[in-house]
Structure 1
Amino acid sequence: MRLDTIQSLVIILMVALATQITRWTPFLLFSGERKLPRVVEDLGKLLPPAMMGLLVVYSLRSTDLLGGSHGIPEAIAVAVTAGLHLWRRNTLLSILAGTACYMALVQLVF
């Protein structure tokens, strides 16, 4: 089935609307003097480390320790990411630097 231009635009608008609703609803529900529910505060503390752990497992799941580079570029990139995060406490900086380190190692060294 092929969509025409109007149908495509309607789909794009509906997806954009749904995205905006999910982005703005928490601000509308928890704005002003209202105190956050305990479960929301707990999730705010627990989910970021859990998601980082999930990303580490997902990123390293197919690392072949017995072949080629034996996982050395991955280990170096993880060490750079963790070290920068412990030193600077800047998530964006540590992720960008770790990714750049890994890409440089894979493209230029290994």
Structure 2
Amino acid sequence: MSNTQLILTILIIMAGTVLTRFLAFIIFPPHKTPPKFIQYLSHTLPAAVIGLLVVYSFKDTIIFPYPYGLPEIIASVVLIFLHVWRRNTMLTIAVSTILYMFLVQIVFI
């Protein structure tokens, strides 16, 4: 890829990202009530996405041979405990990810 093509590709990707971020604000301005279907989606999609992420995270977990899925279980319990205790999403994600990596790479080799 030439430099010109690379710059054009980056600009197109950037424009697409900006457009998708601001399109909702253009279509549904603050003074206008969004349709009922959009309101429904805004309430149900976050839980659906979290459910999808949980299923995706555990889909390749092997529970019968050693380590019996212990790194995933331990990291998940810590994640749930931290989130209930502190209600800080960034702290929860950081600590549980670091703990999981530590368990997988050092403890359960």
State the TM-score bracket (shorter-chain normalisation).
Answer: 0.7 to 0.9
SS at match of 2:84: helix
How large is the RMSD of aligned CA atoms in angstroms? 1.5
Amino acid at match of 2:67: S
Partner of 1:102 in structure 2? Answer: 100
Judged with a 3 Å threshold, the aligned counterparts in structure 2 of structure 1 residues 36 and 87 are, in CA distance, closer, same or farther, namely farther
Letter in 2 for 1:4: S
Q: Percent identity?
A: 41
Equivalence for 1:58: 56
* Number of residue-to-residue matches in the alignment: 108
TM-score, normalised to structure 2, is: 0.87
Residue 43 of structure 1 pairs with residue 41 of structure 2: yes
Give CA-to-partner distance per residue, 1:51-100, whole Å, 9 cap, x none.
11111111111111122211011001111112222223333322222212
Q: TM-score, normalization: structure 1? A: 0.86
Gaps of 5+ in 2: none
**Which ranges in structure 1 are unaligned for 5 or more consecutive residues?**
none
